[in-house]
Amino acid sequence: MSLLTHISSPEALRKLPLAQLPLLCTELRAFVLEHTTTKEGHIKSSLGVTELSVALHYAYRTPLDILVWDVGHQAYIHKILTGRKDLFATNRQFGGLSGFTSRAESPYDPFGAGHSSTALSALTGFAEAARLSNTTRQHIAVVGDGAFTGGMHFEAMNYAGERQLDVTLLINNNRTSIDENVGALQKLQSYKTLCQAFGFQFMGEADGHDPAALIRQFKLLKKEKGPRALLIHTQKGKGYPTPTILKEKKKETAETFQEIAGSKLMALAKQYEKLMVISPAMLSGAGLHAFRQRFPERCFDVGIAEQQAVTMAAALAADGFRPVCHLYSTFAQRAYDQIIHDVALQKLPVTFLLDRAGLVGEDGATHHGVFDLSFLNPIPNLTISAPADGHSLNHLLEEALQHTTGPFAIRYPKGESPALAPEESFTKGKGRWVKRGAKKLVISIGAVRPEVLAVIKQGTFAHYDWIYLKPFNKALALEIIHDFAHIITLEEGSSAGGLGQAFAHLLASEGIHKKLSTLSLPDVFVPHGDQEALAKSVGFDATSFKKLLEEL
């Protein structure tokens, strides 16, 4: 690390002779590999843009020039070069650096991210700002080829082209996003044509692993005006050890929600020949890889394009098919209008699998799936369910396929299904007693953290697994709370419009006097970190929960 030791800012970097940059890149790759062990996808994305990151900070006057990384997961080298080298070992840890770019972290991150396809849109804002304030600076967005399927990226291209804004679009063509890329744009000619159609000057291609060549190209780009684009070819994971490090042995012993959903959909696909699966570039994470292998013609990956996923599913349903649309909870936010306007309003039987619900851990604030119950609950015609274990997930998937009068949402977290062993079996439209008890009643919806479950099990508390947020079964609610003076609702989501408020509403409107405590997530953007640290920070750890129960 002879060079890197002395490079802790872009200013220092710019003093290096060009000839030393390849060595610096070697050291940077080694540094990343030394200090990060998890999230292989992000490490590989970052390694792939090592030379690009170095060249950008070498050629541009960051942070005066505005550099926005789309998604931001590929910014590890950028972070190391911009004053965050010493903190880098804390990457993605609670209290440490974010795995994405973040305005709160550094002036070198003028706009944070996490979700895809926002960079160019943000850049148009900075470019308009510069025009208004007569500021002379460069505006650069690095956008992966995978993000070229997201609608808002095209909205931004159209706008930048129309306004002839002074923006530089660097297309990082590494030919893979999370899943294999989808879209007609993978070909060079298409990028060129597309850029031109939107009024961008297309400046050709560049080798993303030749820092000197990149710097030369950037100098040319800087001389141009108006919207311009350069296609940069990189190899994702360049420098990542091959044969790849053995993946960490799976910690899970039980089946995961994802595995259960995947297997069940395979079984249901045999039963329902009209069953289709649709995913916006997340088939692997969904546990649907095997489904795609087995039923390739019934499995649609639309790319990072949630709006397209949902409205296409709506049309499939309108034509008599039974689409199952898998969305990460956080990305469902991208298709909110489509869920309302194209699916629910038309009462179309689309099954929504809302995966990665609740706190997701190291991905942090941009990725927690915590708003879903709140934003789905006002939508008419929609059934909203959340299984606490794989057993219910199986039943809910069956029910969703039987349900033909409107959409059906099933929300579950990442990871293994807890061993719930309820006293009652699953009954359609109802919840179930996990444990009867005499003292206080805990009503939970969806998966409950094992440490919280353990607390409930230890005491004399009763525990009811509510399952269906919507339609809210008022009669059932009145029945189960009848014998209890103290009720605790539990949901890993926002308070507004969730289970706790539904019960509060019931009590107040029925004039029932009982003690109610609603445990939900606090009204803040929860940061990143391991699940244990996050649970503690929001009161979902054993100690906090125990205290809450005892204080009631």
By annotation, the residues acting in catalysis are: 236, 306, 334
Question: Are the C-beta atoms of residues 401 and 322 closer than 8 Å to each other?
Answer: yes
Output the smallest distance, CB 247 to a second copy, in A: 29
Question: Are the C-beta atoms of residues 116 and 146 closer than 8 Å to each other?
Answer: yes
Question: Please, which residues have CB within 8 angstroms of residue 307's CB and are 6 or more apart in sequence?
Answer: 151, 334, 335, 337, 338
Output the smallest distance, CB 161 to a second copy, in A: 4
Tell me the C-alpha distance between 209 and 227, whole Å: 24
Question: Please, which residues have CB within 8 angstroms of residue 295's CB and are 6 or more apart in sequence?
Answer: 266, 269, 277
Question: Are the C-beta atoms of residues 18 and 215 closer than 8 Å to each other?
Answer: yes
Which residue, among 225, 163, 146, has the nearest Cα to 198 in the 3D structure? 163
236 by DSSP, 3-state: which? coil
Question: Please, which residues have CB within 8 angstroms of residue 323's CB and are 6 or more apart in sequence?
Answer: 275, 276, 277, 278, 312, 313, 314, 316, 317, 350, 351
Closer by beta carbon to a second copy, 422 or else 500: 500
Closer by beta carbon to a second copy, 25 or else 68: 68
Bridge-based pairing state of the strands 383-385 and 468-470: antiparallel
Tell me the C-alpha distance between 174 and 145, whole Å: 7
Output the smallest distance, CB 228 to a second copy, in A: 14
- At residue 36, what are phi and psi to the nearest 5 degrees? -130, 145
- At residue 19, what are phi and psi to the nearest 5 degrees? -65, -20
Closer by beta carbon to a second copy, 209 or else 298: 298
Closer by beta carbon to a second copy, 26 or else 333: 333
CB atoms within 10 A of CB 523: 8
Output the smallest distance, CB 311 to a second copy, in A: 4
Output the smallest distance, CB 108 to a second copy, in A: 13
Closer by beta carbon to a second copy, 181 or else 256: 181
Output the smallest distance, CB 507 to a second copy, in A: 5
375 by DSSP, 3-state: which? helix
* Cα torsion 146, 152, 153, 155: sign: positive
- What is the layout of strands, in order, in the sheet containing 515-519? 432-435, 462-465, 440-444, 486-490, 515-519
Closer by beta carbon to a second copy, 110 or else 431: 110
Closer by beta carbon to a second copy, 115 or else 411: 115
Output the smallest distance, CB 300 to a second copy, in A: 7
Residue with tokens 């439209």: 429
